[in-house]
Amino acid sequence: MVACCKVERLIDEYDLKQTIGDQALEQYLVARWIGRDEYTATGVRPLKDWFNQRLIKRAYTDSGRPVLDTPIADAYRTLTGDEAAFELEADLETDGIDADQLRTDFISTATLYRHFTDCLDVSKSEATETSAESDWETDKIEYTKGVVETNVRESLRALTNKGRLPRGAEATITTDIVVGCPDCGTQVGVERAIDRGYICADHSDPVDSC
């Protein structure tokens, strides 16, 4: 059977079909995303991070390396961070773990979002989307950022292959979406604005429509 997308391919390649509690891995992810089976609705980004750490856990298990949550979370932050990870890469290499392959296999928020909506034909219900606990709005923002990052990565790889931008394919990519106050022009990252509940403290009160 041909995998529907990268997520399903990785589930097969890393043998992640084991159950989480009494649910298959994909059922568990969907339940957490939409807030089903007593789970609180969760955004795509933390679920993406959880999935990618499962890949590290499987690589550790296959290599005989101790599987502990804290070192795995630390390794994930290092492998996905902007700083060089030479020491960790060398340490993983001693156990036969290819850090570059892990990075290649890590999924993006956009990839997981597409897997939910396109492959599994799942969407958050209107009731869930309008609830206070829903995170569908930030899911869409993260999805959009993931699409931009994917397109930029593909362009950088092509430019590198053409010799126009040496090592461009190795570059780190940061996608920031900035929103501005409609009254004074104060700008802030959209995630920070959402976290603190306003764009500009001086003009945060809603304006009544005429």
- Taking only the tens of pLDDT, the chain with its 210 residues reads 455 789 999 999 999 987 787 788 999 999 999 888 888 888 888 999 999 999 999 999 999 998 888 899 999 999 988 777 899 999 999 999 999 999 999 998 888 988 998 899 988 754 454 444 556 677 778 778 778 888 888 898 899 999 999 988 877 777 788 999 988 889 988 878 887 888 988 888 765 544
Does one domain contain both 196 and 167?
Answer: no
Residue 112, classed as helix, strand or coil, is: helix
Does one domain contain both 98 and 118?
Answer: yes
Distances (CA, A) of 127 to 64, 96, 133, 140, 142: 45, 47, 11, 17, 21
Beta strands in the chain (DSSP E): 19-20, 23-24, 178-180, 187-189
Whether the CB-CB separation of 108 and 10 falls below 8 Å is answered with no
Does one domain contain both 88 and 169?
Answer: yes
Q: How many domains does the chain have?
A: 2
Which domain does 134 fall in, by range? 6-174
Is pTM beyond 0.85? Reply is no
Residue 1 lies in a domain: no
Residue 109, classed as helix, strand or coil, is: helix
Does one domain contain both 140 and 204?
Answer: no
Whether the CB-CB separation of 107 and 52 falls below 8 Å is answered with yes
Does one domain contain both 117 and 28?
Answer: yes
Does one domain contain both 181 and 144?
Answer: no
Residue 129 identity: E
Does one domain contain both 50 and 62?
Answer: yes
Does one domain contain both 170 and 201?
Answer: no
